[in-house]
Amino acid sequence: MTISAFILKNALRNKRRALLSVSSVAASLFLLVTLQVALRELTQPPESSGAELRVAVRNKISLTNPLPARQRGVIERIPGVAGVTPFTWFGGKYKNEGGMTFAQFAIDPKALGTVFNDAKMDAAGYIAFNQQKDSCVIGKITAEKYGLKPGDRFSLESTVYPGSLTFRVAGIYSGTPDDRNMLFRQDYLDDSIGMPGYVGMWWLKVKSAAGMPRVIAAVNKAFENTSAEVRAESERAFQLGFISMLGNIKALVASLSTVVVFTLVLVSASTMSMAIRERFRELAILKALGFRRRELFAFILAESFGLAVAGAVIGIGAAYCLYTFGDISKMTHGIFVTFEVTPRIIGFSAMVAALLGIVSAIAPSLSVARMSVVNGLKTLD
Amino acid sequence: MAEPIVQIRNLSKIYQQGEINVTALDNISLDIAGAEFLTLMGPSGSGKSTLLHIIAGIDRPTSGECRVQNVDVTKLNESQLADWRNQNVGFIFQTFNLIPVLTAAENVELPLLLTQLSKKQRHNQVATALELVGLSDRSKHLPRQLSGGQEQRVAIARALVTDPALIVADEPTGNLDSHSAHEVLGVLQSLRRDAGKTIIMVTHDPKAAAFGTRQIHLEKGELS
Ligand SMILES: Nc1ncnc2c1ncn2[C@@H]1O[C@H](COP(=O)(O)OP(=O)(O)OP(=O)(O)O)[C@@H](O)[C@H]1O
Ligand SMILES: [Mg+2]
C-alpha cells in the first residue's frame, strides 16, 4: 500500500457521499462557467471584422430621434470617409409572431459591399439587391429559422411605420458575428410607408483606423448648432452604450456567481468536516502510530482537494463540451451566439475549485491539530 | 538488575476541572526492566490508563520525568514525540482500532509508511508480524471479516511491525471472550519470551495478569 492508495481508500470509503460531493462541485462549477461565459458574451459582444473602421452616427438626443437625410452629402465630403449608409429601424413583425425575433434595417444597397463588407453573399444576391427595389437580404440564422430562400416573398408589419411591406429575398448573407438581421432598401421604405427625408441613423466606413478619431470629431462638429445635432462614435463605443443598459444584468450575474461559490464552499466545508469527524478516532490512532500533524493535514488536504478537482474536471469539462460542440445559438434561440468557454474562464473556475479544496480542508485540519491522542481515542465511532 | 528500560520518577498528573483538581497520578516512581511483562491492575479511575499513556508518549504528565531507554519522553516536542512513538512503542487498545477500509495486511503496514523501508521490505515485515500472531492466512481480510480475537491479533501485529522495544496494551482482552483472550495473551507472552519485548499491560482480569512476569497495583493514583 502506498500513501496515495491510503488517501484514495479514505476518500472513497463512503462512496455515496463522495459521489454526492463530487456531483455538487461539478454542478456548481458547470453553473459558474455558464454564468461567466454569459457575462462575457453580454459585456464583450463578438466583434465583426471591419468593426474597427466603422462609425455609428445617431441623433444626439436619442437613438429613436431620426436624422435628416440631407446630412448624407455633408458626411460624404468629410475627408477620410469611405462610405455612408442610412440605417433605419423598421421594427417589423414576422407573420403573427408575438415578439420580434430578428431586426430589420433599411440601408443603401451599395453599402452592403462597402460599409458592411463583413457580410458575405453570392454575387447574384448583390445584383438582385441593387436592381430590385423591394428586395432584401437576410442573415443565415434567420433564413434557416424561417426556411426563406432567394426569390421568396414575405410581408412584415411595421411597429414604427403605418402598415406593412412585402419583400423579395435577394440573398442570404453570413460571416458577421451574428447573422440574424434583415437588410432592405431605404428608397423602398421612403417611397412606400416611410418618412422621406429622414433616416434612423448613419453608419460610416472610414479609410483607416488612424483616421477614425478625426472623422468622428469632424462629423460631430459638422452638425453642431443645427436642428439635428449628432453623436458619432466607434462601433465598439456604440455597442458599449447598449451594454451599459445591461449593467443590472451584469451585477445580477456577478452576484449569482458569488452565491454559487459561497454555497459551494459551505457545502464542501461541512461535508469535509463531517467526513473527518467520523474518522476522528482513526486519526487519533494514526497520531499514536507516529503520524505527525503535517502528515494528517496532507491526508485531509489531498482528500478535499481530490474531491474538488474531480468535481471541477467533470463540471468544467461538461460545460466546455456542451458550449464548444453544442449549437448554443439554436439552444438559446439566438440570444447567445458564440458562448465561448475561454481559457481564462476555465482557469478562473479551476482556481475556484482549487481554493475550494483548500478552504474545505482548513476547519477539519484545525480540529485534528487540536485533538490530543488521548481525547481522540475517547471519541466514539 | 540490568539498566531498566523505563524509569519513572515522581510522576504526577493532575487534571484541573474548574475549582477541583483531580489527581490521576500522585508522585509515582517505578522502574521497568527490559523483557519484563508488567501487568498493571487497580480499580476503575485509579490512573492505569493515564500512566500507560504517559509512558507511551501520547499524554504528558503535570510533573516528574519518564525515561524510556534513557530518553525523557516528557521533554520531547510534539513532532519528536511522534517520531519516537513510531520507532519505539507499539500500541494495543481495548477496542481494536483498525482502519475499517484497510485489509489486515494494510493495517499492519500503516506504521511502516512513515519509515524509509522499501515496498518489499515493508511486505516482508508485515508478513513476519502477521505470522507471529498466527494470521498469515487472513492478510487480505477486512476488519469486519475477522473475529474480535483476530482483530486484536492484527492490532498486535501492527504494534510490533516496527520492532519496538516497548509494547503497551490497555485492557487488550477487555472485549474478548475467554478463548480469544487466551490466544491474545499467549501471543503477548511469546513476544516477551521469544523476542525480548518489554510489555506493559493494563487489565482488570487477574487471570490475564497471571500471564505477566510482574504485577503492580494502582490505587487512587498511587502504587500500592
Ligand atoms: N481528560 C480528563 N479530564 C479530567 N479528568 C480525567 C481526564 N482523564 C482522566 N481523568 C481522571 O483521571 C483519573 C484516572 O483516569 P484513568 O483513565 O487513568 O483511569 P483508569 O485506571 O484507566 O480507569 P479504568 O479502569 O476505568 O479505565 C480518573 O479519576 C479520571 O476521572
Ligand atoms: Mg483505563
pLDDT of residue A245: 63
Residues A18 and A78 in one domain: no
pLDDT tops 90 at residue A88: yes
**Cα-to-centroid distance, B94 and ligand 1 (Å):** 15
Listed residue (A381, A41, A280) closest to A178, CA to CA = A41
Q: Give the CB-side neighbour count of residue A24, counting CA atoms within 13 A.
A: 20
Number of C-beta neighbours around residue A33 at 10 A: 27
Mean pLDDT is lowest, of A19-23, A52-56, A103-107, A245-249, for A245-249
Per the CB < 8 A criterion, the answer to whether A83 and A50 are in contact is no
pLDDT of residue B56: 94
* pLDDT higher at A49 or A11: A11
**ipTM (interface predicted TM):** 0.93
pLDDT of residue B199: 96
Closest Cβ–Cβ partner in A289, A374, A377 for B111 = A289
Closest Cβ–Cβ partner in B82, B100, B101 for A290 = B82
Question: Per-residue confidence at A52, pLDDT binned at 50, 70, 90?
Answer: confident
pLDDT of residue B8: 96
Listed residue (A152, A155, A186) closest to A170, CA to CA = A152
Residues A222 and A292 in one domain: no
pLDDT of residue A47: 62
**Cα-to-centroid distance, B106 and ligand 2 (Å):** 28
Cβ contacts below 8 Å, chain A against chain B, sum to 65
CA distance B16 to A220: 85
Residues A194 and A255 in one domain: no
If you take atom 4 of ligand 1, which residue's CA is the nearest one?
B15
Partner-chain contact B97 A372, CB within 8 Å:
no
Residues A202 and A307 in one domain: no
pLDDT tops 80 at residue A126: yes
- In chain A, what percentage of residues exceed pLDDT 70? 93
Question: Per-residue confidence at A326, pLDDT binned at 50, 70, 90?
Answer: confident
Residues A194 and A294 in one domain: no
Mutational pocket test of ligand 1: of B12, B22, B25, the residue with most ligand atoms within 8 Å of the beta carbon: B22
pLDDT tops 70 at residue B1: no
Residues A155 and A207 in one domain: yes
Arithmetic mean of pLDDT, A251-280 = 90
Residues A7 and A75 in one domain: no
A252 interfaces chain B, CB cutoff of 8 Å: no
Domain of residue A34: give its range: 3-45+247-378
pLDDT of residue B130: 95
Partner-chain contact B101 A9, CB within 8 Å:
yes
Partner-chain contact B85 A286, CB within 8 Å:
no
Arithmetic mean of pLDDT, A286-313 = 93
For B4-218, give the CATH class: alpha beta
CA distance B47 to B95: 19
Q: Give pLDDT tens digits for B168-179.
A: 999 999 889 999
Q: Quote the number of domains for chain A.
A: 2
Please report the residues numbered 285 through 314 in chain A whose beta carbons come closer than 8 angstroms to any beta carbon of chain B: 285-293, 295
Q: Which residues contact A266 (CB under 8 A, 6 or more apart)?
A: none
pLDDT tops 70 at residue A46: no
Residues A57 and A125 in one domain: yes
pLDDT of residue A258: 92
**SS3 call for B214:** strand
Mutational pocket test of ligand 1: of B12, B14, B15, the residue with most ligand atoms within 8 Å of the beta carbon: B15
pLDDT tops 90 at residue A378: no
Contact list in B for residue A290 (CB cut-off 8 A) is 82-87, 111, 114
Q: Give pLDDT tens digits for B65-118.
A: 999 999 999 999 999 999 999 999 999 988 888 999 999 999 999 999 999 999
Domain end point (choices A217, A244, A271): A244
- In chain A, what percentage of residues exceed pLDDT 90? 62
Q: Give pLDDT tens digits for B126-146.
A: 999 999 999 999 999 999 999
pLDDT of residue A95: 72
pLDDT of residue A173: 94
pLDDT of residue A49: 63
pLDDT of residue A53: 87
- Average pLDDT over chain B, rounded to whole? 93
CA distance B218 to B186: 24
Structural domain spans, chain B: 4-218
pLDDT tops 90 at residue B23: yes
Question: Per-residue confidence at A96, pLDDT binned at 50, 70, 90?
Answer: low
Partner-chain contact A285 B100, CB within 8 Å:
no
* pLDDT higher at A68 or B1: A68
Q: Give pLDDT tens digits for A18-30.
A: 999 999 999 999 9
CA distance B187 to A63: 94
Domain end point (choices A244, A263, A297): A244
- In chain B, what percentage of residues exceed pLDDT 90? 90
* pLDDT higher at B94 or B124: B124
Partner-chain contact A377 B97, CB within 8 Å:
yes
CA distance A108 to A69: 12
What is the torsional sign of CA A283, A284, A287, A292? positive
Q: Give the CB-side neighbour count of residue A233, counting CA atoms within 13 A.
A: 13
pLDDT tops 60 at residue B189: yes
Residues A118 and A237 in one domain: yes
As a three-state string, the secondary structure of A322-343 is HHHHCCHHHHCCCCCCCCCCCH
pLDDT of residue A243: 66
CA distance A323 to A335: 14
Q: Which residues line ligand 1 (CB under 6 A)?
A: B 15, 17, 22, 24, 42, 44-50
Contact list in B for residue A372 (CB cut-off 8 A) is 58-59
Report the helix count and the strand count for chain B, using DSSP H and E. 7, 10
Residues A121 and A161 in one domain: yes
Residues A190 and A202 in one domain: yes
- What's the one-letter identity of residue B90? G
Mutational pocket test of ligand 1: of B49, B51, B217, the residue with most ligand atoms within 8 Å of the beta carbon: B49
Domain end point (choices A211, A244, A277): A244
Give the length of chain A: 381
Q: Give pLDDT tens digits for B40-58.
A: 999 999 999 999 999 999 9
Contact list in A for residue B113 (CB cut-off 8 A) is 1-3, 6
Per the CB < 8 A criterion, the answer to whether B179 and B216 are in contact is no
**Partners of A83 in beta bridges:** A205
Partner-chain contact B82 A287, CB within 8 Å:
yes
Contact list in B for residue A6 (CB cut-off 8 A) is 102, 106, 110, 113
pLDDT of residue B111: 95
Q: Which residues contact B18 (CB under 8 A, 6 or more apart)?
A: none
Residues A221 and A348 in one domain: no
